[in-house]
Amino acid sequence: MTERRVALSVSAVITVVLLSACATKQKEGSAPLAGRPAIDWNEPFGTRGVSEFASVLAASQQLPFKPIVSDKLGTPFKVLVTEGGDRSHPNFALEFGTLVADRFLVVESPSQTTQAALESLALCDPTQGCEGTRSVRALLHGARGLVVSGPGSNGILWLQNGLLVDVFGPPSTFSVAHAVEVANYLEAS
């Protein structure tokens, strides 16, 4: 993991944290892995460059894109807009679960990758520091997502309507199956 998810745009975080060079997964907790801080599931985005909104509608007015939401996920605990790589590219984030044990996140950002590049990240070389597993999985309505499972988080990323969508949560409570279920709800929206 890089310094903090908020330090980079969520799309960069997705690229660096969940996807890149496989050296990106962290063990949950306070002990850093390879000098990188672990995800703080109480404040996964930190507070710098993060704005909280009362509703999805209020947050969506700050975005240059229409966020993908599904009523089937229930009401998010937090609705956030985070700074992207620059202020003109904010990212949309929903936190579900008031307790860390129930926590999972949905993050959407304008795509800066291609389907081929996303799928190529399924190759995970442990000799290069990659932890966990990567695979490509088809969602119910045809999108192909990158499933990432490791000691720092479990999740799935896919491209939809020009956005890179990332669903992830703590591996101790958020399974890959749950991530795929959430992704299927969002893909159908």
Whether the predicted pLDDT of 75 surpasses 50 = yes
Residue range(s) defining the domain that contains residue 182:
5-187
Whether the predicted pLDDT of 22 surpasses 90 = no
pLDDT classification of 31: cutoffs 50, 70, 90:
very low
Which of 28, 22, 44, 33 has its CA nearest to residue 135? 22
Whether the predicted pLDDT of 55 surpasses 70 = yes
Cα–Cα distance, 40 to 17 (Å, whole number): 14
Average pLDDT in the chain:
80
Give me the number of domains the chain comprises.
1
Whether the predicted pLDDT of 8 surpasses 70 = no
Whether the predicted pLDDT of 74 surpasses 50 = yes
Backbone φ, ψ for residue 150 (5° rounding): -165, -175
pLDDT recorded at residue 37: 66
pLDDT recorded at residue 63: 93
Q: Tell me the average pLDDT across 28-44.
A: 60
Whether the predicted pLDDT of 183 surpasses 80 = yes
Q: What is the model's pTM?
A: 0.80
